[in-house]
């Protein structure tokens, strides 16, 4: 039985919160696409299960970093994940962002990442 979108997002978030990259292994579709938040202004496009898995596993295991989940909203095969990413102790050592996720048959097929930036 395929996981619900909510169950899938819970497990996806747990991989980053627990720094456990093994939780990601069976969540990603062969045709998955990630649009990353960097480099500015448009981010990088990552395609295919192996590349997406490697990218997320690297983030999940980067020493001295961590995610804080600010909210998860699920709509059938789509989800909005709001988060804060920390790379240090101070308030200036973090950034808020959002991932727009698309799921098909219990697997992640698309993740579009955006971060809040400083205005000019």
Q: Where are the domains of the chain?
A: 5-115
- Summarize pLDDT for 46-68 with one digit per residue, the tens: 999 999 999 999 999 999 999 99
Domain 5-115, CATH class in plain words: alpha beta
Beta bridge partners of 112: 35, 100
- Summarize pLDDT for 75-94 with one digit per residue, the tens: 999 999 999 999 998 878 99
First to last CA, the chain: 49
Q: Could you tell me which of 119, 99, 97, 118 has the C-alpha nearest to residue 109? A: 99
């Amino acid at each position: 039985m395929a996981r619900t979108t909510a169950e899938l997002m819970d497990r996806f978030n747990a991989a980053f919160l627990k720094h456990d990259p093994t939780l990601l292994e069976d969540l990603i579709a062969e045709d998955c696409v990630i649009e990353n938040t960097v480099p500015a202004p448009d981010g990088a496009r990552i395609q295919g299960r192996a590349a997406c898995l490697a990218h997320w596993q690297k983030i999940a295991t980067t020493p001295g970093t961590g995610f804080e989940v600010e909210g998860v909203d699920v709509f059938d095969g789509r989800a909005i994940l709001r988060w804060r990413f920390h790379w240090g102790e101070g308030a200036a050592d973090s950034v808020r962002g959002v991932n727009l996720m698309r799921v098909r048959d219990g697997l992640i097929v698309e993740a579009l990442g955006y971060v809040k930036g400083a205005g000019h």
